[in-house]
């Protein structure tokens, strides 16, 4: 004799309804997840002086990230920036990465003496600068200084 579970007593229509709801919920969750992936707003590019000057002249929000691939503090900052990229308020922030090993002249022109330096700009105005900061709240506060007021 075949065992019946709770749902089999409810008729086949009930089971179809449960499966349809689960399927609909799964599709909705997949859409939300895909949209979240597309919502990464912060644009990260290698530092180029012309692009930097153009962004400042246009009044854009810019963060210069002085970084090195071998620097663990820089990698921690990169993860924080990745998390900030998910926040809609930072949708228009441009992050320009200066490579410590290959862009010494650019570092000098920015007055950056160390790797893991973050320099925030609201248009042409420097708003904040930190060195070695891996606290997500204070890095977010630095990004917030770039926003229009």
Ramachandran angles phi, psi of 7, nearest 5°: -70, -30
Rounded distance between C-alpha atoms, residue 98 and residue 68, angstroms: 8
More confident residue, 125 or 18: 125
Average pLDDT of the residues in 121-125: 97
Rounded distance between C-alpha atoms, residue 124 and residue 53, angstroms: 8
- What's the confidence (pLDDT) of residue 13? 58
Model confidence, pTM: 0.73
Rounded distance between C-alpha atoms, residue 8 and residue 85, angstroms: 48
Q: What is the pLDDT of residues 5-64, one digit of tens each?
A: 555 555 555 555 545 555 454 454 544 444 444 445 789 999 999 999 999 999 999 999
Rounded distance between C-alpha atoms, residue 32 and residue 16, angstroms: 24
């Amino acid at each position: 004799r075949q065992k019946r579970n709770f749902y089999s007593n409810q008729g086949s229509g009930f089971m179809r309804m449960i499966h349809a709801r689960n399927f609909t919920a799964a599709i909705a969750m997949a859409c939300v997840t895909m949209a979240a992936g597309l919502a990464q707003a912060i644009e990260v590019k290698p530092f180029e002086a012309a692009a930097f000057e153009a962004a400042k002249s246009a009044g854009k929000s810019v963060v210069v990230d002085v970084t090195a691939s071998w620097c663990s503090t820089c990698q921690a900052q990169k993860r924080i920036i990745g998390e900030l990229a998910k926040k809609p308020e930072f949708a228009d922030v441009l992050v320009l990465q200066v490579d410590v090993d290959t862009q010494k002249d650019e570092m000098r022109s920015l007055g950056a003496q160390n790797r893991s330096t973050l320099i925030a700009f609201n248009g042409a105005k420097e708003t904040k600068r930190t060195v070695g900061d891996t606290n997500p709240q204070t890095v977010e506060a630095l990004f917030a200084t770039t926003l229009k007021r």
